[in-house]
């Protein structure tokens, strides 16, 4: 069963529509990636240092420095995996709670006149949501770069989809002209070529020539 939901407008004049096909599945990634965006979270660096020191202390007496590194890195990786998942979940719930509060305020604003303080509070909530959305946008931007580096040059479906999407973005499917709507690519190409030829080209030959004795002999290049 498909559902269509209109979301609250945040940072745009358009109302986003969310279409769910009912086929969504949660895909869990088995690999661990350290997100540079975590450094923007308050208190993350002291937490990271403390957890690393605990992992080093818990490593015991292995055979050498490499064993200490592998053991401590494994413990820290396990902690960060769980911390990152919890942080993402908390951020998502916080965003949803703020958006619900904004919806409630918008409904009240339609029914009565808001004071200046109430509007300031509403826009403060909006700025909080925009901050969360910027963090999410940076996350997906980095993931997009990782996918392009690992799959972009390969003969894969990801590269084909990216190339086809770029092609369709640059395509003109129909064109309105004085003769009507053109849908044939040959007609559209001929019309565009003719338009710019008439705009930038010249239709008649200019009979302008330099005299043979215009340049002095010592100024000529042979």
pLDDT at residue number 42: 77
Is residue 25 a part of any domain in this protein?
Answer: no
In sequence order, which residues have a C-beta less than 8 Å from that of residue 83 and are 6 or more positions away? Answer: 47
Is residue 188 a part of any domain in this protein?
Answer: no
Considering its fold, how many domains does the chain have in total?
A: 1
pLDDT at residue number 143: 63
pTM of the complete model: 0.41
- Provide block-wise average pLDDT over 10 residues at a time, the chain (222 residues): 69 69 59 75 87 84 76 88 84 87 88 88 88 73 61 56 60 80 85 84 69 78 69
Measured CA to CA, the distance from residue 143 to residue 158 in angstroms comes to 13
pLDDT at residue number 165: 59
Q: Which tokens sit at 82?
A: 């769980």
Is residue 78 a part of any domain in this protein?
Answer: yes
In sequence order, which residues have a C-beta less than 8 Å from that of residue 92 and are 6 or more positions away? Answer: none
CA distance readout (Å), 155 to 142, 151, 161, 162, 166: 22, 8, 11, 12, 16
pLDDT at residue number 49: 92
Measured CA to CA, the distance from residue 194 to residue 62 in angstroms comes to 78
10 Å CB burial of residue 72 (0-12, 13-18, 19+) is buried
Is residue 215 a part of any domain in this protein?
Answer: no
Is residue 108 a part of any domain in this protein?
Answer: no
Is residue 57 a part of any domain in this protein?
Answer: yes
Measured CA to CA, the distance from residue 6 to residue 16 in angstroms comes to 6
Measured CA to CA, the distance from residue 222 to residue 213 in angstroms comes to 15
Is residue 87 a part of any domain in this protein?
Answer: yes
* Phi then psi dihedrals of residue 144, to 5 deg: -60, -40
Is residue 173 a part of any domain in this protein?
Answer: no
58: domain range?
42-92
DSSP H or E stretch at residue 89: helix 65-111
Contact criterion met (CB below 8 Å) for 2 and 21:
yes
């Amino acid at each position: 069963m498909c559902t269509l939901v209109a979301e609250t407008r945040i940072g745009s004049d358009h109302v986003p529509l969310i279409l769910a096909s009912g086929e969504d599945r949660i895909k869990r990634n088995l690999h661990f990636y350290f997100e540079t965006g975590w450094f923007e979270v308050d208190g993350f660096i002291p937490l990271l240092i403390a957890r690393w020191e605990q992992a080093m202390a818990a490593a015991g007496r292995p055979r050498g420095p490499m064993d200490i590194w592998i053991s401590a890195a494994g413990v820290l990786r396990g902690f960060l995996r769980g911390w990152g998942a919890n942080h993402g979940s908390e951020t998502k719930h916080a965003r949803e709670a703020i958006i619900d509060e904004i919806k409630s305020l918008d409904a009240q604003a339609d029914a009565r006149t808001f004071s200046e303080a109430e509007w300031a509070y509403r826009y403060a909530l909006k700025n909080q949501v925009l901050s969360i959305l910027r963090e999410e946008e940076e996350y997906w931007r980095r993931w997009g770069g990782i996918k392009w580096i690992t799959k972009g040059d390969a003969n894969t479906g990801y590269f084909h989809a990216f190339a086809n999407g770029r092609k369709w973005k640059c395509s003109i499917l129909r064109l309105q002209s004085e003769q009507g709507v053109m849908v044939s690519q040959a007609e559209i190409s001929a019309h565009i070529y003719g338009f710019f030829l008439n705009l930038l080209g010249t239709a008649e030959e200019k009979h302008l020539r330099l005299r043979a004795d215009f340049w002095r002999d010592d100024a000529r290049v042979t």
